[in-house]
Amino acid sequence: MALSKFPNTKGSIFSAVNKLVTETGAIDLSLGKTDFPCPEKLADLAATYIRSGYNNYAPHEGISELRDVISTRVKRLYNHTYNPETEITITAGPIQAIMTAISSVVKDEDEVILFEPAYESYAPAISINGGRPVYVALKQPDFHIDWEEVRKMITSKTRMIIINSPNNPTGAVLTDSDLVQLQHLIQGTNIVVLSDEVFESIVFDNNTHQSVARYEKLASRSFVVSSFGPVFNINGWGLAYILAPEKLMNEFRRIQQFQIFNVNTPLQYALSEYLQTEDSKKDISEMYQGKRNYFNRLLNDSLFEIVPSQGSYFEILDYSTISDESDADFTFRLASEYGVGVIPVSAFLHEKNKLKMVRVCFAKNNETLEKAAERLRLVPSLK
């Protein structure tokens, strides 16, 4: 029998929690499912392009109309020009973009630095390409990066550093200082940066998203992954995009053409037309900041300690004053006994830990947040 390429990987905790939520009827704050509809105009455009016969294969790099719009948007936001012909590619969602970017650079024995808690797809993508994940813990209480520690972790085998801002699961956001330090750190090396910026449009408290694209020396050696899914509530469309200098993008496209070849054609056309008149950042940060603030106020009388999100629609709740249970056990008890589904932070870590934390998604209507908070306020201390 063939050996697994992921011998240390068990079934996804996300699938397990999703099943638990379904079985218990718990309020689902676990997965990144929003309660909000796709904009009506965008939905109408999608239907129009499907009915109009835009249902054949698109170019494997994506339709030119959408790449042109993205190039214009990135230039306006970050003052960096990506050539839509050679430096922008449409992908079948962010995870595929991340997997392909890693596959195009990482080879046997290469080391890749990533920061934990980290999204669960990073490490498997490194391992399947023969690389070795090198884990650096984000520092509490605000989950920031200790760049001096990172400097000590870099070796002659370091091929890539993966960053994620706003971070999933913590909601932490990188600052200008962080990007400047990263830029200095990799100067004179052959290290490539993979920047996961899927939640770039959802940043709170009057802060500005610091994209790698803002920094010329970083942009010249980085992949940048983003998506309009969280902004327009179309994560299920499976559309994302990746930016990179031509040399890196050539390798990316060589691999993607044999992975998926085509990304949903009519939805690309719908999104490209919609983006010509709609600002993807319009009101979105303000709306989700309001959701965060409202949910946090509702939890004021609970025993949970909130680690306020700086961006995205995820947040961390610390239950260390409630229980000494592992976060997995606490998650399953929370769903079974109190009817609230969350994700244990251990799902984003490579080994067992003592953190008493869970991730929640607050991209919900107020009624759902109110019901969830009411149940969470009932959770007593077992200490």
pLDDT at 353: 82
What's the number of CA atoms in the CB half-sphere (13 Å) around residue 276? 10
pLDDT at 272: 96
Contact 104, 321 (CB under 8 A): no
**Residue that is written with structure tokens 């379904």 in the block:** 22
**How do the domains of the chain map onto residue ranges?**
13-31+283-376, 56-275
Backbone angles phi, psi at 98, to 5 degrees: -65, -45
Q: Report the relative pairing of strands 340-341 and 240-243 from DSSP bridges.
A: unpaired
Fold of 56-275: Aspartate Aminotransferase; domain 2 (3.40.640)
All residue ranges of the chain with pLDDT < 50 are 1-2
Q: Look at the alpha carbons of 169, 172, 178, 179 in this order and tell me if their dihedral is positive or negative.
A: positive
pLDDT at 1: 44
Amino acid in position 12: S
Distances 27 to 106, 186, 260 between C-alpha atoms, Å: 40, 44, 35
Q: Is 212 left (phi over 0), alpha (psi -120 to 50) or beta?
A: alpha
Superfamily (CATH) of domain 13-31+283-376? Aspartate Aminotransferase, domain 1 (3.90.1150.10)
DSSP E strands: which ranges in the chain?
27-28, 88-91, 111-116, 132-137, 158-164, 192-196, 222-226, 240-243, 305-307, 314-318, 340-341, 343-344, 357-361
Structural element, H or E, at residue 268: helix 265-275
pLDDT at 15: 80
pLDDT at 382: 87
47: which 2 tokens?
A: 């239907």
